[in-house]
Structure 1
Amino acid sequence: MVTKTFLSCLGGWFISFVHYHLLNYNKYLGLTCLSRYICYSSVHQKRSEPEPSCVSMRSDASMGHPVHFNSRDTQTDLRFRSNLMKKFECLYEGTAQQGNPTLLNEIYTELYITESESGEISNEHEVRQIETQSRRAATEDTQIKCNDIFRPLPGQDKPIRTVLTKGVAGIGKTVSVQKFILDWAEEKENQDIQLIFPLPFREINLIKDKTLSLSDLLHVFFPETKEMEISKDKYKVLFIFDGLDECRLPLHFKKKETLRDANKKKSLEMLLTNLIVGNLLPSALIWITSRPAAADLVPSECVHRVTEVRGFNDPQKEEYFRKRISDQSLANTIITYLKLSRSLYIMCHIPVFCWISATVLGTRLSKVERGEIPKTLTQMYTHFLILQTTIKHEKDYEKNVTDEDMILKLGKLAFQQLVKGNVIFYEEDLRECGIDVTEASVYSGLCTQIFREEFGWYQGKVFCFVHLSVQEHLAALYVHLSCTYNNRNVFDTIPKQSLRSKFKD
């Protein structure tokens, strides 16, 4: 039953519009069909050329004397550490521009991370990967704490230079990186590392056409490094490349010109591959995170450890809801309700889905606003979409952007980028879908926690949906509405040969 609040905010027509189309779009299109593009499109195009004979970094010789950074004064080091702390101390569930951040240490729930045998690609839909993992016995895995990923386990005697951490979308890879950095900045963990340089691919993409030296790259993202100079034995550093699957650089690891000089200007692609392989700063630690679809872009011989973020196990799910929701009675009600639905409870292995569930069920199950309660994934996302569109009606926007227009444009963006294999978008991607970049914040405001806008170290705008499944949901709705109202099959715009090659399995 739709409450009076919803009727007054959204209008009966819009409720019918959203419920009818979102609850029935699976008749026309399965989410699995769309998301398989992620696994087979741009990721496989990057893999079309033969892999190189990558020099293994497993030898003890390659792990020799550090070649790091020499700071002119300790104040620079302290300022660097302080800036990292300010950037990573808060967790923004939804959008980075909301203004209501939560301190990470207050809400952080330890994730279940295991050591994996390899970084092989997974072609299975990510929801099914989660379901498979939920059936795997904990005794089959070697659990490892996030702060210990560079520490050898008992019986492992060789040093670890490069770690690849894989996990499905929203499972907690980026939050693990954030917690690792924050613990270091607060001098709690890994104090043998003197400097940490987080370089997420979504921000590197903004300067992908630049010609830079390693020093230039660090100056762009970390101005404090202008007061540092490279030396032989001063500092031990860690480079963190978060989101390999979001990378829009070719990153071919074929044999190319070897780069060893951190001050020599080269293409960004050559700079990164030489750094990851170990030609450039061979003693620097490297941490790469990726969704399984792109996990083998880095040749296995260049990786010393592969870990897998498995999200929350059952006790951690309950811990999250009790931390996230201050009303413990409501938290217990939500936990009990989710346990009644196998599909919803399995999806709660994904931290972002826990947040979506807390957002929706916190409203639906509260004493203030009882109403229809979602029982399936599709219904959960339908309620989430409706809930977020109310934000537009609660604020006085000057721009006249209707709910239908916003949903269709975001759906078009979701579909087109899913076909391209992108979960991160930039200003040119918005323009292609008729979204005025100057009004992007309005679109973000309409669906504050569906479509988010971020500003990184480089201070460039990066856009994304809050989770891959939300992108799939809107993309499927767009396909359905195009077919229903415009009698147009948007798949006709995709070359049939491409479709056959991607779905031949």
Structure 2
Amino acid sequence: MILQQYPHLEGQIGDILLEPERLLFIFDSLDESIYQIDFRSSTLFKPNQRTHFGEIVVSLVRQSLLKGCSVLMTSRPTRLGSVNTDVFQRIVEIMGILHEDRRTFFNNFFGNEEWSEKAFHYVQENDTLYTFCYIPAYCWIICTVLSMCFKAQPTITDQLMTSLPKTVTQLFVTFVSNILANHSQNTDGAHTARELLTSMGRMAEHGVMNHMIVFDERHLESFSVRNDKHLFSSFLMESGQPPDVDYTFLHLTLQEFFAALVHFIDYNADRLQETLDEAESYKDGRAKIFLRFLCGFLRLFY
């Protein structure tokens, strides 16, 4: 697994693994793993045994593999509810950035005292959005949306402030609609945008239901996602070099939003019911945010 990512270590890997107490493995986002990881038992003892990723992680954590190594993992709290956490020596809950840090983020983002003050005051008065600010990435999304709204008007009026998004669903709708406004000036552009949102939404939903956040060219082809460099890059990021190029949504929450949005762009009652049944069958929390967005759309449109 190490050599697949770092082939230049081939001549040194044997010596490196001889001192496991000097090794730290970091696995980010346990909740996004496609494998069912059961920490109750481990079966690996040698680092050259071939098996799936989940079994490697469990064996490192339970110290049957590379005894003495350190393992650091991150996860959304929802996934931890289905995991036996007794095996971990320490569990830390990250509470997010504090009030003053959030204010600093807004000040640095806008660089305009009037805008940053009005934006922060507006968000602080809205418990839903203010709670959402505990993660810097969410702060960026909120600030980006409010900045779009401010730039669209010559002056910041009370009428503008009352029209700003008040829920997380409205926030993402405004984020996407502002981006589309710059790409859909004619009928063909609007049609292309609708096609892209539909195809990306289907791919996003597939990812949510299968613990998948990284996609490749095969997924784009399978879901008919057209790589329109301008509009496409507004929602998805590319990494790697051809032919091994991967794609991820700007944020997992944006992927979950698109997965819900597609059911309102291309509504089909039977398909929606099948999706709801599938989402509710998962007990590891993978569809929790997706379901919340669905409820948010229902409040917006009905």
1:448 counterpart = 2:227:
no
Code of the residue aligned with 1:490 in structure 2: it is R
- Go from structure 1 to structure 2 and tell me whether the alpha carbon gap of 1:369 and 1:349 turns closer, same or farther (over 3 Å shift): farther
| In structure 2, C-alpha distance between the alignment counterparts of 1:447 and 1:337, rounded to whole Å | 31
| Higher helix fraction (1 or 2) | 2
- 1:500 to 1:346, Cα distance in 2 relative to 1, 3 A: closer
Asked if residue 272 in structure 1 is aligned to residue 50 in structure 2, the reply is no
| 2:255 is aligned with 1:471 | yes
Q: Which amino acid aligns with 2:133?
A: C
Change (3 A) 1:494 1:320: closer
Partner of 1:241: 27
Shift of 1:421: 4.8
> How many residues are treated as equivalent by the alignment?
270
SS in 2 for 1:431: helix
Q: Do structure 1's residue 338 and structure 2's residue 123 form an aligned pair?
A: yes
In the alignment, which of 207, 212, 222 is matched to residue 417 of structure 1? 207
In 1, are the aligned partners of 2:202 and 2:259 still within 8 Å (CA)? yes
- Displacement of 1:351 in angstroms is 2.0
The one-letter amino acid paired with 1:480 is F
Please give the residue correspondences for 1:189-208 in structure 2 after superposition, counting only pairs within 5 Å.
Answer: none
Match status 1:326 vs 2:111: yes
Matched residue SS, 1:309: coil
Structure 2: 5+ residue stretches without partners? 284-302
TM-score (norm 2): 0.74
Q: Deviations over 1:64-119 (max 9, x none)?
A: xxxxxxxxxxxxxxxxxxxxxxxxxxxxxxxxxxxxxxxxxxxxxxxxxxxxxxxx
Structure 2 residue aligned with 1:354, among 139, 151, 154? 139
Alignment partner of 2:220 out of 430, 434, 438: 430
| Alignment partner, residue 490 of structure 1 | 271
After TM superposition, give the deviation of residue 285 of structure 1 in Å.
1.1
Mark the structure with the bigger radius of gyration.
Answer: 1
The residue that corresponds to 1:309 in the other structure is 94
CA-atom RMSD in angstroms: 3.4
Q: For 2:154 and 2:206, locate their aligned partners in 1 and report how far apart those are by CA, in whole Å.
A: 36
1:461 Cα deviation after fit? 0.8
Identity %: 19
The separation in 1 between residues aligned to 2:112 and 2:175, in whole angstroms, is 21
Cα separation, 2, equivalents of 1:345 and 1:495: 29
| 8 Å CA contact retained: 1:338, 1:344 | yes
* Cα distance, 1:424 vs structure 2: 4.3
Judged with a 3 Å threshold, the aligned counterparts in structure 2 of structure 1 residues 375 and 500 are, in CA distance, closer, same or farther, namely closer
Contact 2:33–2:211 (CA under 8 A) maintained in structure 1: no
The C-alpha deviation readout for 1:136-187, integer Å capped at 9, x for no partner, is: xxxxxxxxxxxxxxxxxxxxxxxxxxxxxxxxxxxxxxxxxxxxxxxxxxxx
> Counterpart amino acid of 2:30?
L
Q: Secondary structure at the match of 2:224?
A: coil
Letter in 1 for 2:170: Q
Greater fraction strand? 1
Residue 400 of structure 1: CA displacement? 11
Asked if 1:481 corresponds to 2:272, the answer is no
Greater relative CO (CA pairs within 8 A, separation 6+): 1
For structure 1, list consecutive stretches of 5 or more residues without a partner in the other structure. Answer: 1-216
